[in-house]
A and B are shown apart, each in its own frame.
Chain A
Amino acid sequence: MHRLSIIIILLYLLSTAVYIAYFFFQKKMTREGGYSFLLAGFIVHSGMLGYAFIMAGALPASNLSENLSIVAWAVAGVFLLLRYKFDLKILGVYAAPLAALTLITASQLPNHPPEAVNLFKSFWLTVHVIAIFIGEAAFALACGVGIFYLMQEHAIKNKKHGFFYKRLPSLDLLDSTGYACIVVGFILLTLGLISGFIYAKSIWGRFWSWDTKEVWSIISWLVYVALLHQRLTVGWRGRRAAIMAIIGFCALLFTFFGVNFLLKGHHDTFTKF
């Protein structure tokens, strides 16, 4: 299993390198190359996760290492899907290294076999974990798109048409892609939270227990609610939407990492190492 991880990391890293080359030289071959390596990495990664799932009968999500591996898989997967829908191939230069770094971090963390596997053999927990992580991947990409948007907007507003201006796509494309990511992420995050509550009810007998992780999840969720609400009512788009996407992702990151290390909660056991 470990050797497989290394192969996946290598594929993601190759994809990163080729995408960076694409960013600089803008050659079609590099673009397709970056995509192919990422796709190959994603397929092997899917296989590895699927195998682990079948062998254990439960999602391999019992510690931070395994969780991060799923996140890396989701980032690659969401980007590959996004690539079909939107003509935003340059985002590979953000998605590929993100997937690679996440998986490298995962591989460096201790990965002890879980003690209470039974905890994970629940339908609701599986839904919870998958929905949350794919949602987070979508938000991660929304954040990347938001950063691209701010860079491109800066270039246009300040009339400095340099390196990035030429390589980044139109503001409209960045804005609509970011919006699509947020919508997908939001739906999945909501689904993940609901399934989490249902699972909590079945385990601890109550939906809500003022656990720090729960509170921070709701805070992140509310950031996205605010963003979507403003967009639908007064048409918050462009710069504000991009900044909110970045803030929202920071809140999510804190929920994911910060809460584990700084505060305590019942996600402790499987999101800490």
Chain B
Amino acid sequence: MKPNRAEIVLLGLNHKTAPIELRECIAFSKEETADSLLKLKASSSISELIIYSTCNRVEILMVTSQQQSAIDAAKAHISEFKRIAVPKFEKALYVHVNENAVRHVFMVAASLDSMIIGEPQILGQIKEAYRIATTKQTSGVLLNRLLHRAFFVAKKVRSETGIGDSAVSVSYAATELARKIFGDLSGKQVMLIGAGEMAELAVEHLIRHRVGTIFVANRTFKRGVELADRFNGQAIRMEEINDHLKKVDIIISSTGAPGYMVTCAHVKDSMRSRRNRPLFFIDIAVPRDIEPAINRINNAYVYDIDDLKGIIDENIDERRKEAFKAERIIDEAVIRFQEWQGNLDVVPTIVDLRDKLERIVKTEMEKTLHGLKHLTESDHSALNRMTDAVVKKILHDPALFLKSDGCYGDKAVYMDMTRRLFRLDEME
């Protein structure tokens, strides 16, 4: 290998290597990302560049032929831009090169490296980072291809494994459960007792499934009215809760009250006038608001916070198992990418080009000779010599151009162009 061959280098830190304080400190906003792209690209050692920064990671993806100076430039940039001394964050940094860098990008895009495996936001964040890099023209042949492959791999992982299938947040798990009980949630009425971040998130999730009226009961009626306004719902008084059990379907409870807000007797009472339509209680409060024995009443279902957490733990295990399958898909993609990258070298490109020309000549010759039965053996070899010479002459100048330093700067661009112009890679 030539010493100045272009390499893919990834440098970054994530939730596994850096504490939140450090990540906050180094995170780039969109504007800062754009700014950094231009500043770093100006350094002579970096030919292609993408930066992505989320709340769990900051990574700088580069193509360079001088690994060490590119890494140093990136570190210096972070230090300067974020006003933090290099030793302060250096320990949290990881550096991946070539195969490992490619694998890492695929893993990140497929959400296998996320804090919550399979969470779907990361792909969008990387797409956005890539968009910024393309508008600033800091991404080139290698990174374009790498990112496109990463998006493809991420999509494939998502559709072929169950990595994003099961709920891993309390509010989402509660909504999934509601769907297993009611099927379609549209028009189902919801009652929120108390308030709290998790309970409100759950209500928002339900609203996304087009639930009907939302009743909000709160100890301070004023707060209830505020919340109800937010959800486009209706505030009720605490005394009205039992009355509303007759018409609502889903109850989310999250009060700080010491006793039960809803008891067995209340539910049994209301079941008659509900004509046994199912009731689903989501009890997020500690101590609990909903009497647990309600779960034993027909068509009434009670899930408390521990039950929901139990489901989430199971689901996270499930995702880990699925992640195992995903890694196989990624291994394959890494190999494919490396093959492609390897072919970007001069020699394989010229070899492939010659093969293609020879193949064309051979088939055309066969076709033609088929109709010319009167030609002798020596005629044949004369024709073959002629076509060989044609191929050689056609190849002469392009080969010279590709081998020489005629193509300044980024060789990969010309290799890629040649391969695409003659369609040397099988289309997928």
Question: A residues engaging B (CB < 8 A)?
Answer: 152, 156-157, 159, 161, 165, 169-173, 234-240
Contact = CB atoms under 8 A, between A and B. Distances in A.
A172 B183 contact: yes
B212 interface: no
Contacts of A235: 274-277
Contact of A159 (B272, B274, B310): B310
Given A159-B310, A237-B277, A171 B298 contact: no
Given A156-B177, A235-B277, A172 B298 contact: no
A239 B276 CA distance: 10
A79 to B, nearest CB: 20
A172 B181 CA distance: 6
Nearest to B274: A235
A238 B311 contact: no
Given A161-B311, A171-B278, A238 B180 contact: no
B29 interface: no
Nearest to B311: A161
Nearest to A233: B275
Given A161-B314, A173-B183, A234-B276, A239 B299 contact: yes
Contacts of B183: 169-173
Contact of A238 (B184, B278, B303, B310): B278
B314 A234 contact: no
Interface in B176-192: 177, 179-184
B69 to A, nearest CB: 51
A157 B298 CA distance: 10
A159 B303 contact: yes
Contacts of A161: 311, 314
Nearest to B181: A171
B303 A170 contact: no
A152 B314 CA distance: 18
Contacts of B298: 238-240
Given A161-B314, A234-B276, A235-B277, A170 B181 contact: yes
9 contacts: A156-B180, A159-B303, A161-B314, A170-B179, A170-B180, A170-B181, A235-B277, A238-B278, A240-B298
A234 B275 CA distance: 6
Given A161-B311, A238-B298, A240-B298, A156 B181 contact: yes
A172 B184 contact: yes
A152 B177 CA distance: 12
A172 B182 contact: yes
Interface string B182-220: 111000000000000000000000000000000000000
B307 interface: yes
A165 B295 contact: no
A238 B295 CA distance: 14
A202 B274 CA distance: 48
A157 B180 CA distance: 12
A152 B348 CA distance: 59
